[in-house]
Amino acid sequence: MDFNVKKLAAGAGTLLSRAVQFTEEKLGQAEKTELDAHLENLLSKADCTKQWTEKIMKQTEVLLQPNPNARIEEFVYEKLDRKAPSRLNNPEQLSQYMIDAGNEFGPGTAYGNALIKCGETQKRIGTADRELIQTAATNFLTPLRNFIEGDYKTISRERKLLQIKRLDLDAAKTRLKKARVAEARAAMWKEEVTKCEQELRITQSEFDRQAEITRLLLEGISSTHAHHLRCLNDFVEAQMTYYAQCYQYMLDLQKQLGSFPSTFLANNNQSSSTHMQSGPNSSMSTSPSLPAGSNIVVTSGFSELKASNGSRKARVLYDYDAANSSELSLLADEVITVYSLPGMDSDWLMGERGNQTGKVPITYLELLN
H helices of the chain, in order, are: 2-26, 37-64, 68-79, 90-105, 110-136, 142-146, 152-185, 190-219, 221-257, 260-267, 269-278, 282-285, 291-308
Full-model pTM = 0.62
Cα–Cα dist 222/224, whole Å: 5
pLDDT at position 148: 95
226 Cβ partners below 8 Å, 6+ apart? none
pLDDT in the model for residue 175 = 84
Q: Tell me, what's the pLDDT at 277?
A: 40
Quote the pLDDT of residue 141: 94
Q: Residue 131 corresponds to which amino acid?
A: E
Q: Which amino acid, 123?
A: K
Backbone angles phi, psi at 339, to 5 degrees: -155, 165
Give the count of beta carbons closer than 10 Å to the beta carbon of residue 126.
19
CA distance to 258, 265, 347, per residue, from 262 (Å): 9, 6, 12
The residues, ordered by sequence, that sit 6+ positions from 83 with a Cβ below 8 Å of its Cβ are 77
Distance in angstroms (rounded) separating the CA atoms of residues 294 and 313: 18
Looking at residue 193, its pLDDT comes to 82
pLDDT in tens, the chain (369 residues): 555 555 555 566 677 777 877 787 777 767 788 889 999 999 999 999 999 999 999 999 999 888 787 777 776 777 667 777 778 889 999 999 999 999 999 988 889 989 999 999 999 999 999 999 999 999 999 999 999 999 999 999 999 999 999 989 988 888 888 888 776 666 556 777 888 889 899 999 999 999 999 999 999 999 999 999 999 999 999 999 999 999 999 999 988 887 554 444 444 444 434 443 434 333 333 333 323 333 333 445 778 787 777 888 999 998 898 989 999 999 988 999 999 888 888 889 999 998 999 999 998 998 887
Measuring CA to CA, which residue among 352, 363, 356, 360 is closest to residue 323? 360
b/e string for 237-252 if b means 16 or more Cβ within 10 A?
A: ebeeebeebbeebeee
